[in-house]
């Protein structure tokens, strides 16, 4: 016999998935013109899985287009932090007396 928690967990998971899909669909529809929205909604009624594939493809294209910018920004910030550390180290060593200390014997 199936415990009562299993169908409840399944229902909760289905509701979460439905909410996520609705949010992704609204975000995608916001980028479309009125005519494209009508076509997309008609496609969604006829082929729901195909409309999900279109949204996933659009998200993937956006992620690929944005990734070089993010990588470049990360590289720049890493370089800046390294340069600051190196500069601080140089400043610290340049303040020291270049002559070795004499020992009193």
- Which residues lie below 8 Å from residue 43, measured CB to CB, with a gap of 6+? 50, 51, 54
Which candidate, 30, 51, 49, 27, places its Cα nearest to that of 40?
51
Rounded average pLDDT per 10-residue block, the chain, 105 residues:
90 94 87 86 82 80 70 66 69 62 61
Tell whether pTM > 0.75.
Answer: no
Residue 52 lies in a domain: yes
**Per-residue model confidence (pLDDT) at position 79:** 65
**Per-residue model confidence (pLDDT) at position 13:** 96
For 48, the domain range is 8-66
Say how far apart CA 8 and CA 98 lie, in whole Å: 75
Say how far apart CA 56 and CA 39 lie, in whole Å: 17
Residue 84 lies in a domain: no
Q: How many domains does the chain have?
A: 1
Q: Which two tokens stand for residue 84?
A: 């600051």
**Per-residue model confidence (pLDDT) at position 1:** 77
Residue 19 lies in a domain: yes
Residue 105 lies in a domain: no
Residue 23 lies in a domain: yes
**Per-residue model confidence (pLDDT) at position 103:** 62
């Amino acid at each position: 016999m199936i415990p009562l928690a299993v169908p409840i967990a399944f229902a909760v998971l289905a509701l979460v998935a439905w909410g996520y899909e609705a949010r992704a669909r609204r975000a995608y529809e916001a980028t479309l013109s009125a005519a494209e929205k009508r076509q997309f909604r008609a496609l969604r009624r006829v082929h729901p899985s195909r409309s999900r594939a279109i949204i996933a493809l659009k998200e993937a294209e956006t992620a690929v287009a944005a990734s070089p910018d993010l990588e470049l920004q990360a590289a720049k910030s890493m370089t800046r932090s390294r340069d600051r550390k190196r500069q601080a180290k140089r400043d610290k060593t340049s303040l020291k007396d270049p002559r070795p200390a004499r020992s009193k014997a």
